[in-house]
Amino acid sequence: MTDEHFRGLERAYSAAPVTRWMGSSASVGDGRATVTLPVREDFHHAAAAVHGSLYFRALDDAAFFAANSKVEDVLVLTSSFHIQFFRPVSAGTLRAEGRVVHRAARLVTADAELFDQAGTLLARGSGTFAISRISLSELPGYSDGR
């Protein structure tokens, strides 16, 4: 895999409207990815902690981009994802670290862990990602930096 592929995935991540709204960012390498997400109060549920959907998004994104780092021509798609929640968080920056654990002909399996800014493990997840027929070059930002 090439650095340009990794940078293209990072640009595609940044180009997504939901990414801009959340204020998250991604760093992609060979079989790994890190997603960071600054916590905002509008991410809180009624008990004043970050809603689990944000945990999911960070974990899924980290595992997804780790998986897609191993596939240079087409997009992978999340086909299943399992999460274990350990601790709540209300402030700071979340960091999800994803890594590929298995690659088969049509599926990639990747795990991710979510940490607070002190390095405390908050949650972990495992996903299976199907290799699609959607060209990465179709993604905004992937090929041309837009």
CATH number of domain containing 116? 3.10.129.10
Total count of domains within the chain: 1
- Cα torsion for 53, 61, 132, 73, to the nearest 10°? 160
Chain-wide mean pLDDT for the chain?
Answer: 95
Mean pLDDT of 73-87: 97
Residue 145 has pLDDT above 70, yes or no: no
Residue 145 lies in a domain: no
Residue 107 has pLDDT above 90, yes or no: yes
| The predicted structure's pLDDT at residue 146 | 43
Residues 26-37 pLDDT 10s: 999 999 999 999
| The predicted structure's pLDDT at residue 143 | 87
| The predicted structure's pLDDT at residue 86 | 98
DSSP 11-61: HHHHHSHHHHHHT-EEEEETTEEEEEEE--GGGB-TTSSB-HHHHHHHHHH
Buried/exposed code over 86-102 (b: 16+ C-beta within 10 A; e: otherwise): eebbeeeebbbbbbbee
Residue 22 lies in a domain: yes
Domain that holds residue 133: 3-138
Residue 143 lies in a domain: no
Mean pLDDT of 64-88: 97
Residue 50 lies in a domain: yes
Mean pLDDT of 99-118: 97
| The predicted structure's pLDDT at residue 21 | 94
Say what percent of the chain tops pLDDT 90.
Answer: 95
Residue 49 has pLDDT above 70, yes or no: yes
Residue 130 lies in a domain: yes
